[in-house]
């Protein structure tokens, strides 16, 4: 990662009951950074990659964006 990128610790990651991975992202984060965090979570599930399926704004000041990813084996 680049020196000016958002640290992974700034993201909130969670698994949903439908098997998708949610990533709460700070305002300064880029889509690609959220995906990198999701890929790491997917690897813990034995998958290789993460594809974004939804992005939504929240009312949370700390995490104004939530991304939903589906984990893939390819």
What pLDDT, on a 0 to 100 scale, did the predictor assign at position 1? 40
Domain boundaries, the chain: 8-72
What does the pLDDT look like over 3-41, one tens digit per residue? Answer: 567 887 899 999 999 999 999 999 889 999 999 999 999
3-state secondary structure labels for all residues of 5-55: CCCHHHCEEEECCCCCEEEEECCCCCHHHHHHHHHHHHHHCCCCEEEEEEE
User: What does pTM read for this prediction?
Assistant: 0.86
């Amino acid at each position: 990662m680049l020196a000016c990128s958002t640290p992974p610790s700034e993201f909130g990651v969670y698994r949903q009951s439908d098997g998708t991975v949610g990533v709460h992202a700070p305002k300064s984060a880029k889509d690609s950074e959220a995906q990198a965090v999701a890929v790491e979570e997917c690897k813990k599930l034995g998958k290789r990659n993460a594809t974004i399926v939804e992005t939504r704004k929240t009312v949370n000041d700390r995490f104004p964006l939530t991304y939903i990813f589906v984990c893939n084996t390819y």
